Structure 1
Amino acid sequence: MSRFRSLIQASLNATKKALTWNVDDLMPPCEKYIFSFNCKEEIKKWHLYSDSEYGGLSSASLEVTDEGDGFKGLFSGTLSLDVMEGSKWNISRSGFCGMRSKKFNGFIDLDSYDTIALKLKGDGRCYISTIYTENWVNSPGQQEDNSWQAFVYVPAGNWYIAKASFEYSGTHIPLARYLPTWRGNVIDASMEMNPARVLGMSLSVNAEGGVPGARSGPGDFRVEIDWIKAVRNE
């Protein structure tokens, strides 16, 4: 009987070990590259937008450059608060530009991660990181994707790994800190992001607003981008 119990225990231990190995083997890596601006082809994944589509006078460009330290993305341009004379659009504000990724081929599943990290070299302005997810409501009146936004403050001059937050902090900020927005405004709604159904991302900049201490106002902007990752910290 003792020998029989030993055989059963050995079998259970072997099964437990095999199951543990399989779980570890299936666990996604602790970091997942979403975008890496390591070649000129990368800009084909993005398109630009600005207030110029609605009568504003801001402008932006996106290119991949190599200044001796490898390829990097460069998002730059000019923010203007002015509005084109005679514009048919009755816009209440101008002074924004953005780069938005084209929709992914299907979805990106970020359910195993808790942070979005960006390696940037900026100009002291505050930028806005946006995550687009599948709309919870599939109705004729709700065709736009859900958008979730967080401020990313980019100190001037040096490469900086920023972890996005709506209120800038140097500590770990989870994905849960991205707030639901509607056309750039935070909405008061009980919504929860579905990180398993991410459709795309954007990085944008406004002439006004942002975090205290960040550069603001009309004028030039410039931010270099090395990569955007999803990170699991826990």
Structure 2
Amino acid sequence: MYNQTKASQDAMPSSAQLLRSTVAAIVVALAILVTMVLPAEYAIDPTGIGRALGLQNMGEVKAQLAAEAVDEPIESVSGGSGNQEILERLERIEAALAGLSAAQVVPAAAAPAEPAVKTETMSLTLAPNQGAEIKVEMAEGAIIEYEWLTDGGKINFDTHGDPYNAPRDFYHGYSKGLFVPGDQGQLEAAFDGYHGWFWRNRTPADIEVTLIVKGEFASIKRML
């Protein structure tokens, strides 16, 4: 009636066989623990096999990260107030971002700096037959007061201006002079650009020129 064959007593493993299998399994598990698990997880490598297999480095990295986490708690990041303050800051940032419109997110273009009223002094020395030029950058309608003088010699000068990207033959003069020891006055910019003075020494001796400028201008520099 039943087709199932009952296992014979000889086919069943004996107690000694079961014990040997259990001991073998324990030995294999201990070997895996010592050669693989301990080096990879805890940087413990008593046999040296873990380092040879590259598992020791994994354990050392994990141990280092764990030590850093203990040495530098999260309170140091938030100034000592802990996780709660970080969460509160995140909530405030999220709320602020949610209230911004697309137009508010785009930064506005910076307005050009307004020229300040200031005073500058520059000096230069002209050798015989040498020319030099100093100009100030001004907006149209801006006004400066100026004075320049030599250390005693007399030179030629030409006060003029050039707009930005001026054509090659462009010329706009304010005043000129021949063999004078100095000049002073007021200059109002006729256009946006550079306005200033060109001097040439036609004497046989060096001449020092000192320029003082006061008013509304963006910059001053020697051009030549």
TM tier, shorter chain? 0.3 to 0.5
Determine which structure has the larger helix proportion and give its number.
2
User: Larger RCO: Structure 1 or Structure 2 (Cα < 8 Å, ≥ 6 residues apart)?
Assistant: 1
Please tell me whether Structure 1 or Structure 2 has the larger radius of gyration of its CA atoms.
2
Using structure 2 for the length normalisation, give the TM-score: 0.33
Using structure 1 for the length normalisation, give the TM-score: 0.32
